Amino acid sequence: MPASGKDLVDLLDLDEVGTESFLGQAARRSRMARTYGGQLLAQALMAAYRTVPSGRPVHNLHASFLRGGDAKESVRYDVTRVRDGRSFTSRRVCGHQHGRQIFELTASFHREEAGYEHQVPMPRVPVPRDAVPLVEALERADRDTQTFWREEWKALDLRVIEECDAAVRSVQGGAVAGGAPAQSATERLWFRVHDSLDSQEIALHSCLLAYISDLTLLSTALRPHGYPFLAPGVQRATVNHAMWFHQIVPVDQWLLYDKSSAWAGGSRGLATAHVYSPTRGMAATVVQEGLIRPHGKHSAHPVPVRSLHTS
């Protein structure tokens, strides 16, 4: 995966291969077999941006992950102009590999204008220097997993904030599926791109925010079931992903990812998050549904139902 901010920028430098058709290159040096979902989000959004007039930043996207992508191969993104209005522009982007569609994104762009404003303020949390680097927080992961994480996400600085004050209560008793104590269904972390980016282009920073938004979100739905981040025993995959961009903020400065999960069932989990800038307030809202299917020895046992409550 990208090892620096420059590598991230290069990943979004798409080649035009036809009329409103673009080629996104595979991430270099990746050990992953499947294409990272955030890469598909970011490249597809950049393809859409390439067909949109300037002065219209993205305000919303919805994406469906139809098949697993091959991480070693490039992806072709075909853009369809759905609407070009006076205030809004809409695009549909289909991602293809090996002659099959693997991904679809719809995005809406809005001309900047004044209007009513309100927002929920950023929660009070420890500053980034007091948070724990994510690699260090992976205490239960084996050395190979820690090394994999450190190498794959070298371009990003991710720091976990200590568990939030929320209690988790079991309705049906029994051992927690993951074998670890149940955790809060809320998790917060600070993130930024390690390197300062030369460009402050709106399209670049909104695409990079989409890239990062897929990382760690689905794991929030597993916390109440005793599965720490990256714990084995669960098949994970993003199914669909939605984002609302409230303002475009630089991703090479610290941003807070405030994540929670209100529901899981039927081998699917739902997670919701807000992205905050400490200086500018709420930047984005993210909702994701994903597959969280028990496998191996865990699939042979009933999964306890858990009820969440805050105290």
Closest C-alpha among 183, 162, 283, 178 to residue 233:
178
pLDDT band at 181 (very low <50, low <70, confident <90, very high): low
| Residue 46: both structure tokens together | 């950049």
| Mean pLDDT (whole number) for 73-93 | 99
What is residue 175's predicted lDDT score, i.e. its pLDDT? Answer: 39
Name the pLDDT band for 182 (thresholds 50, 70, 90). low
Q: Which of 43, 78, 89, 214 is catalytic?
A: 214
Mean pLDDT in residue range 136-154 = 76
Predicted TM-score (pTM) of this structure? 0.91
| Beta-bridge partners for 257 | 189, 275
Which pLDDT belongs to residue 76?
99
pLDDT of residue 85: 98
Told to judge if 288 belongs to the known catalytic residues of this protein, a careful annotator would answer: yes
Q: Kindly tell me if the per-residue pLDDT of 136 is higher than 90.
A: no
Query: What does the pLDDT read at residue 73?
Result: 97
Query: What residue segments make up the domains of the chain, in order of their start?
Result: 5-112+127-309
Could you count the other beta carbons within 10 Å of the beta carbon of residue 258? Answer: 21
Q: What is the pLDDT of residue 150?
A: 82
CA dihedral 306, 243, 63, 183 (to 10 degrees): -20
Average pLDDT in the 206-235 region? 89
- Residue of 183, 238, 252, 258 marked active site: 238
What amino acid is encoded at 307 in this protein?
A: S
Nearest to 282 by CA among 216, 209, 219: 209
Exposure class string for 45-71: b at 16+ Cβ within 10 A, else e: bbbbbebbeeebbbbbbebebeeebeb
Give the residue-averaged pLDDT of 128-152. Answer: 80
In 22-163, alpha helices (H): 37-49, 134-137, 143-152
What pLDDT is attached to residue 8?
96
> For position 302, what pLDDT does the model report?
52
Q: What percent of the chain has pLDDT over 90?
A: 72
Q: Above 60 in pLDDT, residue 171?
A: no
Residue 218 DSSP symbol? G
pLDDT value for 162: 72
Q: Report the alpha-carbon distance of residue 23 to residue 25 in Å, rounded.
A: 6
- SS3 for 244? strand
Which CATH code for domain 5-112+127-309?
A: 2.40.160.210
Tell me the average pLDDT across 118-147.
Answer: 85
25 is catalytic: no
**What digits encode the pLDDT tens for the residues 20-58?**
999 999 998 788 899 999 999 999 999 999 999 999 999
pLDDT of 255 > 50? The answer is yes
Write the CB contacts of 1 (distance below 8 Å, at least 6 apart in sequence). Answer: 27, 29, 30, 32, 36, 151, 152, 153, 154, 155
How many angstroms from the chain centroid is the CA of residue 121?
A: 22
Look at residue 176 and tell me whether its pLDDT is greater than 60. no
